[in-house]
Amino acid sequence: MPLVHIDLIEGRSEEQLKGLVKDVTAAISKNANVPADRVHIVLNEMSKDRYSVGGKMVSDK
C-alpha cells in the first residue's frame, strides 16, 4: 500500500486538487505496479505564513 504525502501552500481549487490526486494515483499505480484503489494520498495544505524559503516567509513575498 503506497502512502504518499504531498505538502502544498493553500490556494488551489478543489478541481486542481482532484486532478493532482488522480494523476499521482495513476503514476504510482503504473510505476509501482499496484492497483489504484491501494494508493493512499494525504494532502497537507499550509497557509503562506507557515512556510518559508531562504529565511523569508512566503507570506512576505
Tell me whether residue 35 is one of the annotated catalytic residues: no
- The three cell numbers of residue 59 are 507570506
Q: Determine contact, residues 46/6, Cβ cutoff 8 Å.
A: no
Catalytic residue among 1, 2, 41, 53: 2
> How many other β-carbons are positioned within 10 Å of the β-carbon of residue 6?
13
Single-letter amino acid, residue 35 = P
Catalytic positions: 2
